[in-house]
Amino acid sequence: MSSLYAIFDIDGVIVDSEQLHFDVLKTLLPEQTKGVTPEELIGLSLKETLLSLGIDAKQHEQITVQIVSAYKDQLMPRYLRPGIRSLIQSLIEKHVPFGFVSTAPRDICLANLGTLELHLKQPLISGDDIERTKPHPDPYLAMLQCLGAHPDQTVVIEDTDLGIKAATAAGIRRVYGWPHALSNTENYGAAYKVIGSLDEIDAFDAMMNSITK
């Protein structure tokens, strides 16, 4: 059994994609997004986002297909957050088990992870895979089970209060908050530590020394 496990959120952690998500919504749903800011939607699943915008549930499937397609068309490697590819590459090389947890549809998760260009085989819990998403602990509990990890052995990197709440509710103590440009409405009060860069994750200190900055 490994002595260390890691779980990554995807949107906002792997890729700095929150503005891109909002730009896609503004293009496809211009009337419904009037007066709405991207910060209001951070951390919500796509279903929750559409409901908050007043979209009838009968239209969700059709609109979701359009959103996913438009998002994938505009996603580029430049959205990767600084140092994330190097960190994940280092975890792979050092045989540290890790996985990904997200509220986004699986197709969007896979597209985001594809920007890493690492041919990942690690487990993924997406918004399509579990009924109760963040802030419920269920996604993190499911990933702990997938990894065979104990909460005390696990490090989580999140960018939203909803995600931090979900991870801590699953019993994980070391939940790092990693803000980005649209994190000004998040308070990170429940985070184990708020970091400005990935080399501030003390659980990875020895590992980070081998990562090219």
The whole-number average pLDDT for the span 181-210 is 84
Share of the chain above pLDDT 70, in %: 95
Whole-number pLDDT of residue 44: 83
Confidence of residue 213 (pLDDT cuts 50, 70, 90): very low
Sign of the dihedral through C-alpha 172, 176, 180, 185: positive
Task: Return the domain boundaries, the chain.
Answer: 5-16+78-208, 18-74
Express each pLDDT in 58-70 by its tens digit.
899 999 999 999 9
Dihedral sign for Cα atoms in the order 83, 100, 71, 117: positive
**Joined tokens for residue 46:** 């796509």
- Name which of 48-62, 75-89, 121-135, 140-154 the model is least confident about: 48-62
Give the pLDDT of residue 203: 80
For residue 82, cis peptide bond before it (omega within 30 degrees of 0): no
Q: How far are the Cα atoms of 1, 59, 205 from residue 103, in angstroms, in the given order?
A: 28, 19, 29
Q: Which CATH architecture has domain 5-16+78-208?
A: 3-Layer(aba) Sandwich (3.40)
pLDDT at 212: 39
Q: Give yes or no for a contact between 24 and 70, defined as CB atoms under 8 angstroms apart.
A: yes
* Per-residue model confidence (pLDDT) at position 124: 98
13-33 pLDDT tens trace = 999 998 999 999 999 999 999
Tokens describing residue 76: 């580029």
Question: Quick check: 193 and 177 in contact, CB under 8 A?
Answer: yes
Amino acid, single-letter form, for residue 212: T
Q: If you search the block for the tokens 């990904």, which residue do you land on? A: 100
pTM: predicted TM-score of the whole model, two decimal places? 0.90
Q: Report pLDDT for 48.
A: 87
